């Protein structure tokens, strides 16, 4: 189908984008890669009267070191995340995750900001950002603020964004050198949403896990930070029994929908399997890198 009529805006300043968005309220939507909003417009599931293209905003581009953090602009594409030497060295799980998103054509246009900001529970980056305890930098009519990824998602397509706000960047603290990581994703075919997926990032000292963070993708109406599962692994040698208990704890917080990817119980079980695989691989990498 063809979208309904709309006015296209391409501002060159962040202040102008915010002003247009704020002035038009629910009739305006920001446009990043367009892989979510454009299909919805074609299906007439969304009918914004104003589209604000963020591609012309220099403030939303680039990957930078800021103290002990890495700051990634909202319009950085998945392909740029994959190709970044800085991320490959310091946050390799981002590259590993981006390589499992959609296909190369989409990754050349799809952005990090678009992936995390719209609240789609099927997107991969929101759970990863929760696992990394990332912060989202938001700018709006009332100024700038930062919201933790773990506090950002309220429900499917329901986020902490206030009217007129734009997500401008993602801030991530760099894990210690030699940390272990893994993003495990089960999907039906290339380009599909996850049937179930899990991210794990951990550190180890002398074989003992000192810190651990686990999160889940597409197993509820929001991404899920598995706090209990993470706590069970910390202080252990990440043995099979500990991994099994952590997977059980992760399963317990899931609430997947039954859909074409399978019955809810199957998807819940696969969530546990993905956690087991992610933890085992993350631990192996941490021990090897120590």
Q: CA-to-CA distance for 101 and 75, rounded, in angstroms?
A: 16
For residues 143-160, give the mean pLDDT. 97
Per-residue confidence (pLDDT) for residue 187, from 0 to 100 = 95
For residues 213-220, give the mean pLDDT. 98
Per-residue confidence (pLDDT) for residue 35, from 0 to 100 = 79
Q: Which two structure tokens, joined as six digits, stand for 32?
A: 């990043």
Contact 230, 204 (CB under 8 A): no
* DSSP state for residue 219 in the 8-state scheme: S
For residues 23-27, give the mean pLDDT. 93
Which band of pLDDT confidence, cut at 50, 70 and 90, is reported for residue 285? very high
Per-residue confidence (pLDDT) for residue 290, from 0 to 100 = 57
Indicate the class that CATH gives domain 7-53. alpha beta
Q: Which two structure tokens, joined as six digits, stand for 76?
A: 């950085």
Per-residue confidence (pLDDT) for residue 47, from 0 to 100 = 87
For the chain, domain boundaries: 7-53, 61-173, 181-289
Domain 61-173 has CATH 3.30.465.10: yes
Residue 26 makes CB contacts below 8 A (sequence gap 6+) with none
Q: CA-to-CA distance for 278 and 181, rounded, in angstroms?
A: 7
Q: What is the mean pLDDT of the chain?
A: 95
CATH topology identical between 7-53 and 181-289: no
Query: What is 181-289's CATH topology?
Result: Enolase-like; domain 1 (3.30.390)
Task: Report pLDDT digits (tens) over 231-276.
Answer: 999 999 999 999 999 999 999 999 999 999 999 999 999 999 999 9
Cβ-in-10-Å burial (0-12, 13-18, 19+) of 8 comes to exposed
Q: Which of 3-12, 34-43, 230-239 has the lowest mean pLDDT?
A: 34-43
Percent residues over pLDDT 90 in the chain: 87
For residues 140-161, give the mean pLDDT. 97
Q: For the whole prediction, is pTM greater than 0.75?
A: yes
Using alpha carbons, list the distances in angstroms from residue 270 to 67, 108, 132, 209. Answer: 38, 30, 22, 24
For residues 132-147, give the mean pLDDT. 98
For residues 189-200, give the mean pLDDT. 94
Contact 75, 55 (CB under 8 A): yes
Per-residue confidence (pLDDT) for residue 98, from 0 to 100 = 97
């Amino acid at each position: 189908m063809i979208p309904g009529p709309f006015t296209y805006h391409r501002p060159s300043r962040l202040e102008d984008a915010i002003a247009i968005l704020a002035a038009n309220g629910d009739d305006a939507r920001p446009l990043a890669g367009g892989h979510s909003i454009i299909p919805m417009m074609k299906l007439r599931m969304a009918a914004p009267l104003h589209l604000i293209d963020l591609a012309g905003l220099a403030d939303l581009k680039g990957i930078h070191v800021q103290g002990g953090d890495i700051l990634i602009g909202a319009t950085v594409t998945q392909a740029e995340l994959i190709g970044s030497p800085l991320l490959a060295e310091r946050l390799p799980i981002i590259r590993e995750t981006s390589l499992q998103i959609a296909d190369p054509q989409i990754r050349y246009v799809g952005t990090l900001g678009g992936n995390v900001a719209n609240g789609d529970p099927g997107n991969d980056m929101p759970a990863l950002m929760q696992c990394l305890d990332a912060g989202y930098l938001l700018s709006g009519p009332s100024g700038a603020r930062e919201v933790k990824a773990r506090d950002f998602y309220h429900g499917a397509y329901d986020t902490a964004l206030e009217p007129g706000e734009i997500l401008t960047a993602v801030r991530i603290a760099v894990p210690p050198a030699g940390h272990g990581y893994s993003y495990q994703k089960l999907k039906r075919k290339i380009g599909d949403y996850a049937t179930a997926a899990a991210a794990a990032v951990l550190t180890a000292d002398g074989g003992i896990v000192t810190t651990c963070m686990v999160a889940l993708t597409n197993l509820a109406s929001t991404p899920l930070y598995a706090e209990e599962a993470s706590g069970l692994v910390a202080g252990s040698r990440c043995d099979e029994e500990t991994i099994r208990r952590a997977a059980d704890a992760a399963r317990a917080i899931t609430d997947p929908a039954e859909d074409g990817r399978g019955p809810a119980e199957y998807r819940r079980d696969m969530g546990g399997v993905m956690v087991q695989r992610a933890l085992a691989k993350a631990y192996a990498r941490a021990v090897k890198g120590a």
